[in-house]
Structure 1
């Protein structure tokens, strides 16, 4: 998409919003399951044979509980990926509509819709800035919903705490940590779950305010599509 061409027509958003809410709930449930299994690992205690990864490329056979955690972790990763896809699809739509409603170019160029999540340092504020900019353009003069700040604060805690989504270690390493130092893992899990819940409120709030202003615009005589 090019931000320098004419604004696009208003796009239906309710279907995309419903999908985003669904996968946010799914992702939150997946991370809750991950936390439950980490608690089970901590309660069971590390086997006498030591952690799964024994160093120097040696791995002992996994216990049934450790195997189950691998499955839960993989399902959580899949749910998180689906969540990212659906959330970004919704974000594109409300961003395009915000541009059409306001007649202004977005403050952040379109590559930042993706790059803002992964570029170091920039990922500390740009995604929240994009969401806040969409709300400002969609509803001038209205206060940004509190859910946006809760969502973004919990997201940062959950991803940048050293144990969350951005903690790039193997599943076996997470298992070993659950045996020896579970509280930081569980705190990161709780933050991610909280971010997913707050994200639901963000999607609902921005969708509602944009639907309201889209309806006003269409009632004033500007044509637009139905939802799908």
Structure 2
């Protein structure tokens, strides 16, 4: 098989290769860059008041980074303040309401003693119908009336809890006075006195350590300067 080669001549025409136009690609790249730049320029500046965390940190300017740091520090401070307030409220609630030696717990102790004492029931009436409340206020709900109480510590480190409240029964109304002491380095309050006053009747003492101590002292006999039981 023979190949026929065509002789090259000066008059032969060489086809010209046209370059591929890149204007479209260049135009697209330019348009994309303009679009990105336009979006960046249209973004609102980040301030401590409008920062929602949507803009990445790397895209923030130095001033915007400072604004975000300021906002986050402020938010963290609010969280800390909230935790401190919650802890403080919880502590005071426990001390005044839920602790075994709280004012509320000792008020309940005193009220239960009144409802179980025969002399008090004879003046007030049936135990299940006796109610207790604190000082009169503008609030019509008796549960909202505060119980008057004071807590003091003497020079020896003993705590004194003094409270009074009002009781109402089917027969009469009365006022309860209580004084409890917690000796230094002791855990529990002890009764100093607990009494009920009903108008027109003698005071009823359920606890009275002063009278007990004076009675014990009166039983002692002195002979030659020495006390004898």
Q: Same fold (TM over 0.5)?
A: no
Task: Give the TM bin, normalised by the shorter chain.
Answer: under 0.3
More RCO (CA 8 Å, sep 6+): 1
TM-score by length of 2: 0.25
TM-score by length of 1: 0.25
Q: Which has the higher helix share?
A: 1
Q: Which structure: larger Rg?
A: 2
